[in-house]
Chain A
Amino acid sequence: MKPPPFEYYRPSSLEGALTLLAEREEAKPLAGGQSLIPAMNFRLAAPAMLVDLNDLGELAGITAAGAGIRIGAMTRHSAVERDRRIAERAPLLWETMPHIAHPQIRNRGTVGGSLAHADPAAELPAVMVAVEATVLLRSTRGERRVPAAEFFTGLFRTALLPGELVTAIEIPPLPPRTGWAFEEFARRHGDYALVGVAVLVTLDGGGRCERARIALLSVGDGPVLATRAMGTLQDSDLDASVIREAAERGARDDIEPPSDIHASEAYRRQLTRVLTRRALTRAVARAREASR
Chain B
Amino acid sequence: MIVEGSYPLPGSPDVIWDLLMDPDVLAKVMPGTKALSRTAPDRYEGTMGVGIGPITAAEFELTITLTDLQRPASYTMQIDGKGRFGFTRGTANVELASEGVGTVMRYRADLQVGGKIAGLGQRLLDSVSRMLTRQGLDALNRELTARLT
Touch test A–B (CB under 8 Å): yes
Tell me the nearest residue of chain B to A42, going by C-beta. Answer: B120
Expressed in whole angstroms, the minimum distance between the Cβ of A196 and any Cβ of chain B is 14
Closest to B131 in A: A155
A42, A45, A156, A260: the one contacting B125 at CB < 8 Å is: A260
- A43-B57 contact in complex given A156-B52, A258-B126, C-beta closer than 8 Å: yes
Most buried by A among B53, B123, B131: B53
Q: Report the separation of the CA atoms of residues A260 and B1 in the bound assembly, to the nearest whole angstrom.
A: 11
B125 touches A44 (CB 8 A): no
Asked if A44 contacts B126 (CB within 8 A), the reply is no
Closest to A40 in B: B54
Chain A interface, number of residues (Cβ within 8 angstroms): 27
CB contacts (< 8 Å) of A120 on chain B: these are 127
Contact with A along B38-64 (1 / 0, CB 8 A): 000000000000001111111000000
Taking a contact as CB atoms under 8 Å apart, the answer to whether A44 and B122 are in contact is no
Interface check A67, CB cutoff 8 A: no
Contact status B57-A45, CB under 8 Å = yes
* A44 contacts across to B, CB distance below 8 A: 54-55, 57-58, 85, 116, 120
Contacts of B123 in A (CB 8 A): 121, 192, 260-262
- Which of chain B's residues 70-124 have a Cβ closer than 8 Å to chain A? 84-85, 116, 120, 122-124
Task: Tell whether A155 pairs with B128 under 8 Å between CB atoms, given A42-B116, A44-B116, A260-B122.
Answer: yes
Cβ-defined partner of A221 (8 Å) among B84, B85, B122, B131: B131
Interface pair A259/B53, CB less than 8 Å apart: no
A contact face: mostly helix, strand, loop, or mixed: loop
* Structural contact, A45 and B55, CB atoms closer than 8 A: yes
Residue from B55, B126, B130, B131 in contact with A39 in the complex, judged by beta carbons closer than 8 Å: B55
Kindly provide the distance from the CB of A186 to the nearest chain B CB, expressed in whole angstroms. 12
Task: Give the tally of cross-chain contacts (CB within 8 A).
Answer: 57
* B123, chain A: closest CB distance, angstroms: 5
Given A43-B84, A154-B131, A155-B131, answer yes or no on A119-B126 (Cβ-Cβ < 8 Å): no
Please give, as numbers and ranges, the residues of chain B lying within 8 Å of A261 by CB-CB distance: 122-123
- Whole-angstrom CA separation of A205 from B135 in the bound complex: 46
Residue of A nearest to B135 (CB): A154
Chain A residues within 8 Å of B54, by CB? 35-36, 39, 44-45, 117, 156
Among A28, A39, A44, A261, the most chain B Cβ lie within 10 Å of the Cβ of A44
Contact in complex: A258, B55 (CB < 8 Å): no
Nearest CB of chain A from residue B120's CB, rounded to whole Å: 6
The interface residues of chain A lying within 8 Å CB-to-CB of B85 are 44
Which of A43, A47, A118, A262 sits near B53, CB closer than 8 Å? A118
Q: Tell me how far the C-beta of B17 lies from the nearest C-beta in chain A, rounded to whole angstroms.
A: 30
Which A residues are within 8 Å of any B CB, using their own CB? Answer: 4, 28, 35-36, 39, 42-47, 117-121, 154-156, 192, 220-221, 258-262
B residues with CB within 8 A of A: 52-58, 84-85, 116, 120, 122-128, 130-131
20 new A-B contacts, CB < 8 A, other than A44-B120, A119-B53, are A4-B57, A43-B57, A44-B55, A44-B58, A44-B116, A45-B56, A47-B56, A117-B53, A117-B54, A118-B53, A120-B127, A155-B127, A156-B53, A192-B123, A220-B127, A221-B131, A258-B126, A260-B123, A260-B125, A261-B123
